[in-house]
């Protein structure tokens, strides 16, 4: 039995390169939101009000339930948190 090596967890669990990239982006955005909430010392209720979502939604975010958040939602939450997202597009290697 051979062992397969992956660059990251998403390469191992997702079926396509597109799904892998989507999950990497969502993971990065969720991490940034969690860090911002921690840095500012907001409670989940306060964060929910700031981001325009419910407290249970913030709980899902803080527990890393990545499958519950789409890219659009996360980008909107990033903006509401006072953060800025930049995107860079390049040719595939």
Give the pLDDT confidence of 59-78 residue by residue, as tens digits. 999 999 999 999 999 999 99
Q: Note the pLDDT of residue 3.
A: 74
Q: What are the structural domains, with CATH classification, of the chain?
A: 17-80 (1.10.260.40)
pLDDT at 6 over 90: no
**pLDDT tens figures, 9-61:** 545 455 677 788 898 899 999 999 999 999 999 999 999 999 999 999 999 99
User: How many C-beta neighbours within 10 Å does residue 24 have?
Assistant: 15
pTM of the full predicted structure? 0.80
**Radius of gyration of the chain, Cα coordinates, nearest whole angstrom:** 15
Give residue 87's pLDDT: 84
């Amino acid at each position: 039995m051979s062992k397969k090596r992956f660059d990251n967890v998403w390469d191992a669990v997702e079926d396509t390169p597109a799904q892998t990239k989507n999950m990497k982006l969502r993971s990065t955005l969720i991490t940034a939101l969690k860090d911002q909430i921690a840095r500012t010392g907001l409670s989940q209720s306060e964060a929910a009000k700031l981001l325009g979502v419910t407290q249970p939604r913030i709980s899902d975010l803080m527990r890393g339930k990545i499958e519950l958040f789409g890219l659009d939602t996360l980008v909107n939450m990033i903006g509401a948190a006072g953060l800025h997202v930049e995107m860079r597009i390049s040719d595939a290697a």
